[in-house]
Structure 1
């Protein structure tokens, strides 16, 4: 230090106030605590959803919605221990506890095309989301299994559910329409298979107020949209609605002649499912008597379901054709083919009649004595389909009923077609027995005689030609010669040097001149037909142009 320099000292004072710089961290801390409080306060329960796949699901992006309002967010996706399904963790919003119970349903909303229509198109741009449908139960639940498909009917929908059974699966699919007289009144909700009864089950839901159309006498049958039948009854085509034509479906109603009945009180009505309306009508005839019919002719064209008729009126149905073939173990002593038929009580008597099956069967025994017999007839010449017809033949007072197993035998006779075949066979046999060889030899002898006659006729013609060429024959009478001269004179008037020929030539030349003058007019009319009325367009004079070398 030099002598001119001065030494300065810092004065240190103790500050009694907090610096203003600490205000910002304190404010930030308060905001963070407030946000944490809001997050915890608005945080709802955490749920687990089981899904077959995580397609379209993203952590922190996929939302859970109810009526298009966000109520939760996916927070975690894990694979199960057995790699069979996906576990999804989702954080629900505040006050969503009442939405979570044992009847709540979840499913993924994404673009779908099905029999019920096209849905989920809004997710093409926004992405898939999980839809929640709250249940009405009071039992809380936090673990759920998502539906593979959206439910056809909401849980709050009012109506009635019907469970149909059929021997085959695949007849209906989820979303197929349920119609009544062509109008859609419900949907197929669920399909399953009963292992105990070995039958397919189809659960339907009929919406309110259409559930009042379902009565105790109602029956359900399939609708394929178009039904084409070509059988012994003829050619029949039925066309349903366009939706049924594309996807099929099921319809219901009261069959003709069935009682109206009462509405169902059960929550889940169980009914059979028929393939078509014809099966429904067949199911109405629940009282019948079975018979065996035996034929010694071909039954090609006769199938199960073919009608049994009496004078065009259906009285029964063929059940099995054949029931037992000829030369089988049970039919070894006969060469006849057996079929099983049933005669239905409801087709012959009113539903209100009190006739029992025993009385019905005894009546047929008396008809057999009076000559009632069955025969095969052709129902359709195009397909060759057969049916069983019955008619009365000669009475058989000593008729005795025979049995095959547990069934009585219905007497039969040959059908008209078989009789025609037999008559044709007999005719051909008679033709074969004719002495055709002798007839052919006699015809050959006649042909030889005819050849000789033709040779003689040829000789006669030659002699006649010689006679005509003689000079005496050629000297015709004078009158004929005069007539020929006059004819020659007349023909000379039409020669090229005659006056008539010259006049005709001049006329033709004038006609040709007129036609040549008319050709421009005809061309103009052909190019513009209205030119005779509106005139022709004025043709502008050509403008000279400079020649281009």
Structure 2
């Protein structure tokens, strides 16, 4: 026993024991310096390499991609990342990952530094207390940092707008916010925009704030002509969002974060339809509503007092509702708040009573044209106590405002009648005759032109200038000759005697001429006497 005890206590055994101890210490040291292992799912791993692609926070390496595989359903790539020691607090529920690589968009070009160094994974630590080791990377990098001060709000719109993530939000031309997220709801068929208004501009958000689309170039018809406005460079490339408080309205109370606003299609629409209170009426119109649209104004002597809500008003009647459609229903909203500062009170109940009293006095609604060129109409309210109106108490649960046929429609009917009369006229035949007459006139003018040219040639001949003088001399000679043959002159008496002799000679020669006519050889041979013919007896 003593022999084997001395043999086991040999110093040579200290070497493997020391090696095992050093190896264990190195393993423990390696694990102590390494961080957690996480998995990030990404749509496309283009530009990423296992063992080379880094994970960074504020341009500091905090991990590395160790392996890239496909997900179980083969629809995405999975990045297996080994984080550095001390990074566990960054990996929480709301932490965000995305790939930094060259990108081109409205905001410019980003990620150019990765052309040489290669793409990398960016980590945005969250603020949650719940840790996590599996994440899904963002397809696009966030446009703002999570710790950016300001208020986040939601805008809703059912109109077409070319707004994308990263577009600016402006207040009187100054960029004060940015669009962080754009979502489209299939059920509501509307678009939702998540917007950040940065501090200190978030104090501009109040109860009466209105948001509208800022187009690059917009046209607006005004009484004095066309108003053309040009937006910023960003809005020229696509569209932007602007906001403010409509003129004449109080600012209202400040709002908290995540408030919901309507996004109007234009500044004019935001100003005119930004009134939330009103009294709804139905108009029963016996005329065309072509040109009357949702949002068209309701005017009283040139002052806007309401808005057209629905045209035509679809009230979903049943089979027992009565006769088929004869009058066109239109739903309008009378908005007393538009008269703020012009009337003592804008309370809705008082104005219901006022309007009922005005109806009894002859207040009537009709349609007028605001712009004949664009065929836009509006509802006009005026007093016509002597006009016969279309009246009814209620329609589909709404009170009915009395209406009359507008003078515009009557004028249109008269114009159509005149046009029909003109169309019935034989204008084509008249035009053809006029064309023929013009052609004949052209021919005559051409002949006159030719004749004028010939006269010019004659006048240009030598001696033409002396022709008037020669004519005058000839006329003088003719007058002197005629003077010699005046009554009682010798030449005239001699001429008369000569004429008398010629007349006697003519009578004397007449028998000879008659004889020669009957017998041309009478001058050479004797002429036999012919007896007078005897009449024959009757049988």
Residue equivalent to 1:213? 204
Q: Any idea what the Cα deviations from partners look like across 1:139-195, whole Å, max 9, x if unmatched?
A: 433322222111111122222211223346866322111211111122111233567
1:117 and 2:117 matched: no
CA offsets per residue over residues 171-226 of structure 1, 9 Å max, x none? 63221112111111221112335678665332112222222222333232222333
Aligned-partner SS, 1:124: helix
**Structure 1 pair 372–233 and aligned structure 2 pair: CA distance change class (3 A):** farther
Structure 1 residues 170 and 77, CA, compared in 2 at 3 Å: closer, same or farther?
A: farther
In the aligned structure 2, how far is the partner of 1:426 from the partner of 1:246? Answer: 49
Q: Select the residue among 268, 276, 280 that pairs with 2:266.
A: 276
Root mean square deviation, CA, Å: 4.2
Please state whether the residue corresponding to 1:81 is helix, strand or coil: coil
Equivalent residue runs for 1:397-546 within 5 Å: 402-423=393-414, 475-477=474-476
Task: For residue 71 of structure 1, report the CA deviation from its aligned partner.
Answer: 2.1
Please list, as runs of the form range in 1=range in 2, the aligned pairs for 1:199-278 lying within 5 A after superposition. Answer: 199-229=190-220, 235-264=226-255, 266-278=256-268
Report what 1:95 is aligned to. Answer: 86
| Structure showing greater Rg | 2
In 2, are the aligned partners of 1:288 and 1:345 still within 8 Å (CA)? yes
Of the three residues 107, 116, 132, the one matched with 1:141 is: 132
Give the superposition deviation at 1:242.
0.9
Structure 1 residues 335 and 75, CA gap change in structure 2 (3 angstroms): closer
1:208-259 Cα offsets, whole Å, 9 max, x none, are: 2222222333232222333334599974433221112213222222222232
43-52 or 408-417, which deviates more: 408-417
Q: 1:56 aligns with which of 44, 47, 50?
A: 47
Q: Secondary structure at the match of 1:322?
A: coil
- Tell me the residue number matched to 1:310: 300
Tell me, in whole angstroms, the C-alpha distance in 1 between the residues paired with 2:88 and 2:326.
80
Tell whether 2:183 aligns with 1:192.
yes
Structure 1 residue aligned with 2:153: 162
Matches within 5 A, 1:243-392: 243-264=234-255, 266-323=256-313, 332=323, 335-350=326-341, 353-392=344-383
Distance 1:474 1:322, change over 3 A: farther
TM-score w.r.t. structure 2 length?
A: 0.66
Unmatched tracts of structure 2, length 5 or more: 1-19, 427-470, 481-539
Question: Are 1:67 and 2:58 matched, yes or no?
Answer: yes
Could you report, residue by residue, the CA deviation over 1:438-496 in whole angstroms, capped at 9, with x for unpaired residues? xxxxxxxxxxxxxxxxxxxxxxxxxxxxxxxxxx9985348x99xxxxxxxxxxxxxxx
Q: Which residues of structure 1 form unaligned runs of 5+?
A: 1-28, 437-471, 482-549
Q: Answer whether contact 1:106 1:133 (CA < 8 A) is retained.
A: yes
Shift of 1:76: 0.7
TM-score, reference length from structure 1: 0.65
Point out the more displaced range, 415-424 or 392-401.
392-401
Assess, with a 3 A threshold, how the Cα gap between structure 1 residues 391 and 64 changes in structure 2: closer, same or farther: same
**Residue correspondences, number:** 415
